[in-house]
Amino acid sequence: MNRRILDLAIPNIVSNITVPLLGLVDIALMGHLDSHVFIGAIAIGSLIFNFIYWGFSFLRMGTSGFTSQALGRRDLQEVTNILTMSLMIAIGSGIALIILQYPIELLSFLIITAEPEVEVLAAQYFRIRVWAAPATLAQFAMMGWFLGMQNARIPMMISIAVNIVNIAASIFFVRALEMNSAGVALGTVIAQYCGLLLSLILFRRYFSKLISYISIAKAFVRNKVRAFMVINRDIFIRTICLVIVFSFFTAKSASADAESDAGETILAVNSLLMQFFMFFSYLIDGYAHAAEALTGRFTGARDQGNLRKMVRLVFLWGGAGASLFTLTYLFAGDHLLRILTSNEEVISNAAPYFFWVLLVPLISFPAFLWDGIFIGATAGREMRNAMIISSLLIFFPAYFLLQNIMGNHGLWLAFVLYMGSRSLTMSLMAQGVISLSDDGKPNRERAD
């Protein structure tokens, strides 16, 4: 079982680590320019797309869970139907985002307040990067499908290729053409379409026998579409709550700058420190994705014994990884900060808040692993309820109670409590998710 976990986790870790590395390169490119406003522009522009794309993350999550369960049942027609349906929804949604880009931009900057120069640059970033939407969402669908098919190497190859193209293009546009934050956005657009093309090429190479199963009519059977959308509705609500928390975190960091007479550094500080959390999260997600694929397959195959064994072992791997990250940040945190920026003011202002970064891995790793397990079991309702409790009943009350007393420390404490609540609530709900009845269905479904 350890071998099966690592065969899926290691390619996912390699794949996922390229994502924060790209973010680190973008931040570093902006951090070594002559003004901190470029870091703020990337933070605000990325925030808008995080809100959008995380809202569509059900295209990856739902696709992976349904595909892995269909594969466990050895239903090749169904695994192909799921990919067809997901791709069509993804591309249609991406085109809609391009059409609606101007009202989305207007609404975004009504919600987010920042220094005027930062807002101008962030808007420019948004108008360029939005053209990547169809390719980005289509890749969500294909990545989820490949993972559901128990193949983590193809997403790894795609992610590495996309991020190499993205990093190279961003460096060229920023350094050679002096395009600043606009160059980073254009590099992203080019890379995403390269990624989509590579996804299709690899599908044809490794899964050519499934091409004959492709049928729009079979993919859009009413009851199957309804089941797909019900699960994804719950995942969407869960994801929107998550995005609201992260968006609120960045927005409050930006407004702290706008209200400060001492200079605009809180947004830059929190943006840099959040990179440490994102770096950890993408790596621990490698184990979560392995758990996701295996949970779906064992659930579809009605294999209770291997399901429980996998859950136990994946938590051992996840706990070890979280401990390693905490130790790394403890002994190398200052050095890592200096890699990200040469701005001494930002570095010195980040130091008092760095201990929050040390707490996050140990408190939050169960939440990431349960996310993967719940997705594989298509337990969208439980994920939704855990997120609603953690965001609406823990994060926001904690922030409003602590902000006036602790300032930016209050914002970080609220975030840590939010992640701890996610870990706890899903742990309490997990028994019903991973317990299969005699007919192979989770006991929670029988209770319904």
- Residue 261's pLDDT is 46
Q: Nearest-CA neighbor of 76 among 247, 214, 267, 236? A: 214
Q: Of 21-35, 124-138, 247-261, which has the strongest mean pLDDT?
A: 124-138
Phi-psi region of 180 (alpha: psi -120 to 50; beta: other; left: phi over 0): left
Q: What gap in Å lies between CA 64 and CA 66, rounded to an integer?
A: 6
Residues in the chain: 448
- Residue 51's pLDDT is 75
Q: Which residue has the tokens 């928390």?
A: 245
Give 296's strand partners.
none
Q: What gap in Å lies between CA 290 and CA 277, rounded to an integer?
A: 20
Helix/strand/coil for 109: helix
Helix axes 304-340, 266-300, angle to 10 degrees: 160
- Residue 193's pLDDT is 94
Sign of CA dihedral 385, 386, 387, 391: positive
pLDDT tens for each residue of 343-366: 777 788 788 888 898 999 999 999
Q: What is the mean pLDDT of the chain?
A: 84
Q: What gap in Å lies between CA 301 and CA 354, rounded to an integer?
A: 45
pTM: 0.77
Confidence of residue 301 (pLDDT cuts 50, 70, 90): confident
Q: Is 60 exceeded by the pLDDT of residue 258?
A: no
Q: What gap in Å lies between CA 59 and CA 235, rounded to an integer?
A: 9
Furthest C-alpha separation in the chain: 65
Phi-psi region of 437 (alpha: psi -120 to 50; beta: other; left: phi over 0): beta
- Residue 379's pLDDT is 86
Q: What gap in Å lies between CA 55 and CA 93, rounded to an integer?
A: 11
Answer for the pair 90, 141: CB distance below 8 angstroms, yes or no: yes
**HSE toward the beta carbon, residue 149, CA cutoff 13 A:** 21
- Residue 448's pLDDT is 46
Q: Nearest-CA neighbor of 293 among 86, 66, 82? A: 66
Q: Is 90 exceeded by the pLDDT of residue 49?
A: no
The parent domain of residue 312 ranges over 2-447
Domain count, the chain: 1
Q: Nearest-CA neighbor of 60 among 235, 277, 257, 253? A: 235
Q: Which residue has the tokens 């190499």?
A: 164
DSSP structural state of residue 177: S
Give every CB contact of residue 336 below 8 A, 6+ residues apart in sequence. 276, 329
Q: What gap in Å lies between CA 58 and CA 64, rounded to an integer?
A: 9
Take residue 94 and report the two structure tokens written for it. 């991406």
Q: Which residues of 41-50 are buried (b: 16+ CB within 10 A; e: fewer)?
A: bbbbbbbbbe
